[in-house]
Amino acid sequence: MSEHRPNTEGKYKWIGTRPERPDGADKVTGRARFGADFSLPGQLIGKVLRSPHAHAVIKSIDTSKALALNGVKAVITAQDFPDQPNLIVPTGEMQVNMRDITRNIMAREKALYEGHPVAAVAAVSEAIAKQALSLIKVDYEVLPHVIDVAEAMKPDAPILHDHLLTEGANPPASKPSNIAKRIEFKKGDAKAGFAQAQVVIEKDYTTQAVHQGYIEPHATLASAAEDGQIQVWSTTQGHFQVRGFCARLLGLETSQIRVTPTEIGGGFGGKTVVYLEPLAMRLSQKSGKPVKMTMAREDVFRASGPAPGGNVKVKIGAMRDGRIVAAECIVEMQAGAFPGSPVGPACMCSFACYDIDNVYIEGFDVVSNRPKVAAYRAPGAPISAWAVESTLDILAQELDMDPIDLRLKNAAKEGTKTAYGVTFNTIGMVETLEAIRDSEHYKSPVKPGYGRGVAAGFWFNIGADSSAASHVGEDGSVTVISGNPDIGGSRASLALMAAEELGVDYNKVRPIIADTASIGFNFVTGGSRVTFATGLAVVNSVRDMIRELKVRAAKIWKIDPEAVIWEGGMAKPAGNQVGTFEPLSLADLAAQAGRTGGPINGHAQLNVTGAGPGFGVHCVDLKVDEDTGCVHVGRYTAAQDVGTAIHPSYVEGQLQGGAVQGIGWALNEEYIYNAKGKLDNPGFLDYRMPVASDLPKIETILVEVPNPQHPYGVRGVGEVPIIPPIAAVGNAVARATGVRMVDLPMSPPRLSEALDAARPMKMAAE
Amino acid sequence: MSEIQYQSAKTVKEAVKYMQAAKGKGYILAGGTDLLVQMKSGARSPGVIVDVKKIPEMVTVTEKNGSFTIGAATPAAVLGENKKLRKTWPGVIEACNLIGSTQVQGRASAGGNLCNASPAADSVPALVAAGCIVNVAGPTGKRKIPVEEFCTGPGKTSLKTGEIVVSLTLPKRPKNSSDAYLRLIPRTEMDIAVVGVGVSLTMKGDTVADARVGLGAVAPTVLLVKDAAKALIGSKLDDAALDAAAAACSAACNPINDKRGTIKYRTKIAGVLLKRSAMIARDRINGIEHRGHRPV
């Protein structure tokens, strides 16, 4: 694996090394416990009755027969949850409305998509629970449905929500529609910019809904006690969010709910919302027994948030020398059954890689009879990037310019003002482009029959709220406590930063993830924030502990705490004038803690700002079987501005995983709906994610441009790598075949049809 | 809740007896790679499961006078490790070794693949091209069925109540014969054929002396495409003959539009794969090795 690390060479002892992850042994031996591994004595099994219809009024639900079945202990419907106000609350990178979320976990007036929960039961066995579901009688009035975004935007489309007036419509909306929101971003004068341009490229693109595809289906166990306290185990990216949402949904105080996150078998943004947890909690309250619920894979596909599909129109105007003078992007995006697609970030990211004077961006958030979308790595950005980066490739071809040179000519730099208003601090877009330009891959000739594509991507990354604590044991070993489920090796990174800060061996530091009652609030694991923001909290908690350690050494030495320094894991006198004392190790100080003031701990809690944005540039060589439309990816390199790679293996892993998911999005993944509005491929056989044999080893180049606003220069790295792959693949297909694909996925039947359609034109041209 | 009985048979006779007693509610368990999945999904609910893995003749491969008989429950991985079988019938074996995944190969069998009666079964087009005979045992004795007549529709076979598939017999090969199987899947493994084509050839010099073509996933059952074989026989596998055979394959298609492929795409790919399979079979006759099933 290639490494490019000019900034940290020799600077750190632990940061930048690759020790085993704290959770590694348990995961490879099968000891690690995931959501469905948790059980309690006497537990019931909860099952959900889901709507068979894409759109239907729920006229009545009769649960009496189910409740009468021997072994059934509780049945719930929407009536078991209080209605919620129209209140927006943040969940990672998305926003959710409490009024909608209570309707999403359990349909209220209408079922809005196939798989929408309408009732749930808890019974002594799975078989009885299933039988009980068949005894629930739901009287539906089936309504016309709408799946496609363009169809949903039409004035005569079936309306999902009678109260929905388009926010931001111009002129203001007077009638309900499926367009929940219209947004726009402007910089300079796009019209004037296009008038000045010597070349204008304009193209329309479409993408399909895709699922995060985490291997572990949603699972939870809830146990409500007689005193009103509830314990919950859940596979989630944010147990504090589970607590917060469920407290609202059930009308409880957050202190009544204690949520323990289990090990998580993938999340990618999809486990930042709640589905089963509030149902299991209510069923447990009603039955007085612990209730365990798990989703089948079909439920995951039908009813948990996919990432949206969308339609994107892009127009780019440039001068003959490659300078881009105007850009326009219009995004229409699926929100699913309730408002709240990531159209905002899609718009904001669209041209963020480039320094363009005149920009117009418009976005539409559109509801249709699909499951409500959830976050998926860099929500929205891959969709607009696919359109923008494809259009740039057409421009490069039109100008006969190297695609990297074209991007370098227009690259965003420190001081560049984005269309959404932010001015960049230190960023690494140029360095990342140069890393690909100078790579062995890019310099090597393209093999005969292959095409090479490149594309770039941008993501903000976030900070937000984090708490951490550090405890010294009586033997001098250290426990670092934080509250973010580890979805990408964050425990290893937190331990490395703590070890570096303390000057002790990495193996002396044990990082753990505490439940909601055992550590202060932590915002969800999302937005590529954990190693950055929770990392900062950990560093600060360790510094707090070091401050205390210095106080204890000063007490032992009977000198002023200011005269003690911490160095190499030891307290030392600040200089000879202070006196001569043998340095005291962590173990020495821990052993004497009882006599110097009690336990030695450090704490930190903060709202972290100053997240450094990340840029990625990917390069792919592939060939297309022109008879079948099958794509063979031959070589793939991902370069990214990663700040400081705390644990390079897990940074590389993020780049590789993002690239693979992006390749799947480009080539085969799609939600396929039938005429009745039902999902036709709710399983991994016909929802095709790439398998190992589909791919070459993903090569990575880590470009380290430290974030000046973090003590170790950390930037988020987990989301950027899913942004460039789709366009990189499309651009390579175009260069291999001469055919420009504008509709995703570029699956064999679709690509074969496009190649066949282009063949007579190509022959005529020759 | 319904109860499931499990019976482990030691002989074919015993297995037949259990199946007959089950009165249509019996299912044979070989590798279980289809049955167990179908049971979990609720697609099948057997009354009796009859395990046939302890019946020696159903899990072994024998050769007699150049003709191979494959026990119906023999795992595909075992078939792949039989060098002589692989050398004689490389197309049949590569097809069997495409069922499921590497892990599934340790359990999945050609007999099970056939009895599951999916039109997209990987082993079946190659078995059809090979002229395989299905050896069936039942309450009234034994009978032999040409493999192309075995399936009658998706999930349906010509087995009568109490009958089981004991083994598959591949005929003796004339000199200068070989075969090939290609399937199209959108991925490289862990997938189900959008189209599958098996071709078996016997050459005399550079001319095709005999040919059989099996075509899968384009009709309710796997097809024996006689017109494609006819176009190949007597030819030197020149472009005109291959085009004619490909056209015959496309003409034989009666596919559906579904999530796995369109009618148009399947019809086209049937022809593409016919040509490629025929060329691979010829190469093998000429001693040129071919590995890899993905037509890229």
For residue A738, what pLDDT band results from cuts at 50, 70 and 90?
A: very high
For residue A6, what pLDDT band results from cuts at 50, 70 and 90?
A: very low
Does A747 reach chain B within 8 Å, measured CB to CB?
yes
Chain B residues within an 8 Å CB radius of A746 = none
Which two three-digit tokens encode residue A16? Answer: 């930048």
Give the DSSP H or E segment for A759.
Answer: helix A748-765
Residue of A nearest to B2 (CA): A127
Q: Using the beta-carbon criterion (under 8 Å), do A691 and B188 form an inter-chain contact?
A: yes
Cβ-contact A643, A714 below 8 angstroms: yes
Q: How far away is chain A from the Cα of B191, in angstroms, using its nearest Cα?
A: 6
Chain B residues within an 8 Å CB radius of A690 = 187
Cβ-contact A735, A628 below 8 angstroms: no
Tens digit of each residue's pLDDT (9 = 90 or more) over A28-72: 999 999 999 999 999 999 999 999 999 999 999 999 999 999 999
Q: Which CATH architecture has domain B177-285?
A: 2-Layer Sandwich (3.30)
Who wins on pLDDT, A123 or A763?
A: A123
pLDDT of A673 > 50? The answer is yes
Which two three-digit tokens encode residue A726? Answer: 């789709």
pLDDT of B268 > 60? The answer is yes
Mean pLDDT score of chain A, rounded to an integer? Answer: 96
Chain A residues within an 8 Å CB radius of B186 = 630, 667-668, 688, 747-748
Cβ-contact A381, A349 below 8 angstroms: yes
Chain B residues within an 8 Å CB radius of A630 = 184, 186, 294-296
Does A675 reach chain B within 8 Å, measured CB to CB?
no
pLDDT on residue A766? 64
Does B187 reach chain A within 8 Å, measured CB to CB?
yes
In order, the DSSP letters of A303-345 are HS--BPPEEEEEEEEE-TTS-EEEEEEEEEEEEESSS--THHH
Tens digit of each residue's pLDDT (9 = 90 or more) over A247-304: 999 999 999 999 999 999 999 999 999 999 999 999 999 999 999 999 999 999 999 9
Rounded distance between C-alpha atoms, residue A78 and residue A120, angstroms = 10
pLDDT on residue B292? 56
Which two three-digit tokens encode residue B183? Answer: 């399937």
Query: Distance from CA of residue A244 to its chain's centroid?
Result: 19
Which two three-digit tokens encode residue A114? Answer: 């196939």
Q: Which CATH architecture has domain A426-454+613-766?
A: 2-Layer Sandwich (3.30)
Q: Using the beta-carbon criterion (under 8 Å), do A694 and B294 form an inter-chain contact?
A: no
pLDDT on residue A207? 98
Rounded distance between C-alpha atoms, residue A749 and residue A275, angstroms = 35
Rounded distance between C-alpha atoms, residue A478 and residue A472, angstroms = 5
Looking at residue A534, the DSSP 8-state letter turns out to be: I
Direct distance between the N- and C-terminal alpha carbons of chain A, in angstroms, rounded to an integer = 43
Which two three-digit tokens encode residue A409? Answer: 């000519």
Secondary structure class of A84 (helix, strand, coil):
coil
Rounded distance between C-alpha atoms, residue A16 and residue A665, angstroms = 31
Give chain B's largest Cα–Cα span.
65
Phi (first) and psi of residue A230, to 5 degrees? -130, 130
Cβ-contact A290, A221 below 8 angstroms: yes
Q: What's the Cα-to-Cα distance from B243 to each of A153, A277, A626, B250, rounded to whole Å?
A: 47, 60, 17, 10
The neighbour count for residue A130, using CB atoms within 10 Å, is: 15
Q: How far away is chain B from the Cα of A624, in angstroms, using its nearest Cα?
A: 8
For residue A1, what pLDDT band results from cuts at 50, 70 and 90?
A: very low
Give the DSSP H or E segment for B285.
Answer: helix B263-285
Rounded distance between C-alpha atoms, residue A178 and residue A152, angstroms = 6
pLDDT on residue A623? 97
Dihedral of CA atoms B266, B271, B276, B281 in degrees, nearest 10, equals 110
Does A17 reach chain B within 8 Å, measured CB to CB?
no
Rounded distance between C-alpha atoms, residue B32 and residue B36, angstroms = 5
pLDDT of A7 > 70? The answer is no
Which two three-digit tokens encode residue A303? Answer: 């009813």
Cβ-contact A616, A528 below 8 angstroms: no
Q: What's the Cα-to-Cα distance from A724 to each of A47, A154, A375, A382, A487, rounded to whole Å?
A: 40, 31, 17, 7, 21
Cβ-contact B231, B244 below 8 angstroms: yes
Q: Which CATH architecture has domain A145-424?
A: 2-Layer Sandwich (3.30)
Chain A residues within an 8 Å CB radius of B39 = none
Residues 120-159 of chain A whose Cβ lies under 8 A from any Cβ of chain B: 127
Direct distance between the N- and C-terminal alpha carbons of chain B, in angstroms, rounded to an integer = 50
Dihedral of CA atoms A491, A494, A495, A499 in degrees, nearest 10, equals 170
Give the DSSP H or E segment for A135.
Answer: helix A126-135
Residue of B nearest to A633 (CA): B296
Mean pLDDT for A364-385 is: 98
Q: How far away is chain B from the Cα of A673, in angstroms, using its nearest Cα?
A: 9
Looking at residue B174, the DSSP 8-state letter turns out to be: P
Tens digit of each residue's pLDDT (9 = 90 or more) over B208-232: 999 999 999 999 999 999 999 999 9
Phi (first) and psi of residue B267, to 5 degrees? -65, -40
Q: What burial class does residue B104 get, using C-beta atoms within 10 Å of its C-beta: 0-12 exposed, 13-18 middle, 19+ buried?
A: middle
Query: Distance from CA of residue A560 to its chain's centroid?
Result: 48
Whether cis (ω within 30° of 0) applies to the bond prior to B90 is: no
Looking at residue A538, the DSSP 8-state letter turns out to be: H
Rounded distance between C-alpha atoms, residue B147 and residue B130, angstroms = 9
Rounded distance between C-alpha atoms, residue A133 and residue A97, angstroms = 29
Sheet holding B207-216, edge to edge: B177-184, B195-204, B207-216, B223-224
Q: How far away is chain A from the Cα of B233, in angstroms, using its nearest Cα?
A: 25
Cβ-contact A161, A181 below 8 angstroms: no
Rounded distance between C-alpha atoms, residue A741 and residue A735, angstroms = 11
Residue of B nearest to A681 (CA): B259
pLDDT of A191 > 90? The answer is yes
Which two three-digit tokens encode residue A550? Answer: 């210095």
Tens digit of each residue's pLDDT (9 = 90 or more) over A506-532: 999 999 999 999 999 999 999 999 999
Tens digit of each residue's pLDDT (9 = 90 or more) over A309-366: 999 999 999 999 999 999 999 999 999 999 999 999 999 999 999 999 999 999 999 9
In chain B, count of helices (H) and strands (E)? 11, 14
Does A753 reach chain B within 8 Å, measured CB to CB?
yes
Q: Using the beta-carbon criterion (under 8 Å), do A694 and B188 form an inter-chain contact?
A: yes
Q: Using the beta-carbon criterion (under 8 Å), do A749 and B262 form an inter-chain contact?
A: yes
Mean pLDDT for A640-668 is: 97
**Site from A627, A670, A671, A750 to mutate, B interface, most B CB atoms within 10 angstroms:** A627
Tens digit of each residue's pLDDT (9 = 90 or more) over A537-554: 999 999 999 999 999 999
Q: What's the Cα-to-Cα distance from B106 to each of B68, B78, B80, rounded to whole Å?
A: 20, 8, 10
Q: Using the beta-carbon criterion (under 8 Å), do A630 and B184 form an inter-chain contact?
A: yes
pLDDT of A592 > 60? The answer is yes
Does B37 reach chain A within 8 Å, measured CB to CB?
no
Does B188 reach chain A within 8 Å, measured CB to CB?
yes
Cβ-contact A493, A535 below 8 angstroms: yes
Looking at residue A530, the DSSP 8-state letter turns out to be: I
pLDDT on residue A273? 94
Q: Using the beta-carbon criterion (under 8 Å), do B186 and A632 form an inter-chain contact?
A: no
Does A696 reach chain B within 8 Å, measured CB to CB?
no
- Angle, CA of A670, A675 and A681, to the nearest 5°: 35
Q: Of the candidates B189, B194, B295, which has its C-beta nearest A625's C-beta?
A: B295
pLDDT on residue A577? 87
Domain span(s) for CATH 3.30.365.10 in chain A: 145-424, 426-454+613-766, 464-608
Q: Give the position of tokens 């078991």.
A: A80
For residue A8, what pLDDT band results from cuts at 50, 70 and 90?
A: low
Does B103 reach chain A within 8 Å, measured CB to CB?
no
Q: In CATH, what class is A464-608?
A: alpha beta
Query: Distance from CA of residue B189 to its chain's centroid?
Result: 17
pLDDT of A200 > 70? The answer is yes
Q: Of the candidates A691, A749, A756, which has its C-beta nearest B261's C-beta?
A: A749
Which two three-digit tokens encode residue A420? Answer: 């959404």
For residue A89, what pLDDT band results from cuts at 50, 70 and 90?
A: confident
Mean pLDDT for A415-434 is: 96
Secondary structure class of A700 (helix, strand, coil):
strand
pLDDT on residue B205? 95
Q: How far away is chain A from the Cα of B269, in angstroms, using its nearest Cα?
A: 7
Mean pLDDT for B28-50 is: 93
Cβ-contact A161, A396 below 8 angstroms: no
In terms of DSSP bridges, do strands A56-62 and A110-111 run parallel, antiparallel, or are they unpaired?
antiparallel
Give the DSSP H or E segment for B130.
Answer: helix B123-130
Amino acid of residue A413: K
Mean pLDDT for A496-510 is: 97
Q: Which of A629, A173, A212, A162 is nearest to A379 (CA)?
A: A212
Amino acid of residue B77: A
pLDDT on residue A764? 75
For residue B295, what pLDDT band results from cuts at 50, 70 and 90?
A: very low
pLDDT on residue B2? 63
Q: What's the Cα-to-Cα distance from A323 to each of A279, A316, A360, A454, rounded to whole Å?
A: 55, 11, 17, 18
**Site from B102, B103, B250, B296 to mutate, A interface, most A CB atoms within 10 angstroms:** B296
Residue of A nearest to B183 (CA): A628
Cβ-contact A282, A75 below 8 angstroms: no
Does B269 reach chain A within 8 Å, measured CB to CB?
yes
Does B4 reach chain A within 8 Å, measured CB to CB?
no
Q: Residue A603 contacts by C-beta under 8 Å, 6 or more apart in sequence?
A: A467, A468, A469, A470, A541, A544
Which two three-digit tokens encode residue A475? Answer: 């033997």
For residue B289, what pLDDT band results from cuts at 50, 70 and 90?
A: confident
Q: How far away is chain B from the Cα of A503, in angstroms, using its nearest Cα?
A: 47
Q: Using the beta-carbon criterion (under 8 Å), do A753 and B296 form an inter-chain contact?
A: no
